[in-house]
Amino acid sequence: MSSRAVFLDRDGTINFDPGYISDPNKVILLPFVGESLFKLKEIYKFKLIVVSNQSGISRGLMSHDDVKKVNNRINELLAAYKTGIDAFYYCPFHPEFSSEVELECRKPSPKMIFDASGDHDIDLKKSYLIGDKAADVGCGFNAGVKTVLIKSETYNEEISILLNEGKSPNFVAENFKDASQYIISDFSGGK
């Protein structure tokens, strides 16, 4: 039987984004993330899958090992909430340093979601994506999942990009708790 998933951007969505985070000791979860992910996974039975652009690798600012250590630290912090991310997918490439073939995984491409869907038998029609950038919403839109845009300092810019592309999120959230409550309500039929 197929699973349902919440696909998550990483930096700026579930953890603070200081810019190209490579030190696991600097990982800080954003407010409401732990409790909300616990509800989504443990109560509502969504798989939690991170899909993240990590162009700092191709820029030479971090290594694959750094990304894995940060990912591991996120799950260590989430363990305090009795939950965790089921899988992490990331794209290490950037248009300035990478070929077109390499860039096929970079959001807004849906490739990471499609790969995760195949690996984890996920029904995309029952799945969602939460992110803080236009590329996140574009990725979810392109994959056919419902999308939630969390307001950030660049919200006006992000929503402008989306509207210019003729795309809009299914929901705009004030914070992560608001995003997860939308998903729970939508999935439960508004109950």
The answer to whether the beta carbons of residues 13 and 136 sit under 8 Å apart is yes
Q: Where are the chain's structural domains?
A: 4-187
Half-sphere exposure of residue 155: CA atoms within 13 angstroms, side-chain side? 12
If you average pLDDT over every residue of the chain, what do you get?
96
Is there a catalytic annotation at residue 23?
no
| CATH superfamily, with its number, for domain 4-187 | HAD superfamily/HAD-like (3.40.50.1000)
Active-site residue, selected from the candidate residues 11, 66, 132, 136: 11
d(CA 13, CA 89): 15
* 92-137 pLDDT tens trace: 998 888 888 889 999 999 999 999 999 999 999 999 999 999 999 9
The letter for the amino acid at 113 is I
Q: Which one is catalytic: 9, 66, 132, 136?
A: 9
Instruction: Return the residue matching tokens 């954003």.
Output: 30
Q: What is the pLDDT of residues 63-100, one digit of tens each?
A: 999 999 999 999 999 999 999 999 999 999 988 888 88
Query: For residues 92 and 66, what is the distance between their CA atoms, to the nearest angstrom?
Result: 12
Q: How many CB atoms lie within 10 A of CB 2?
A: 13
Give dist(CA 20, CA 56) in Å, integer. 6
Would you call 121 a catalytic residue per the annotation? no
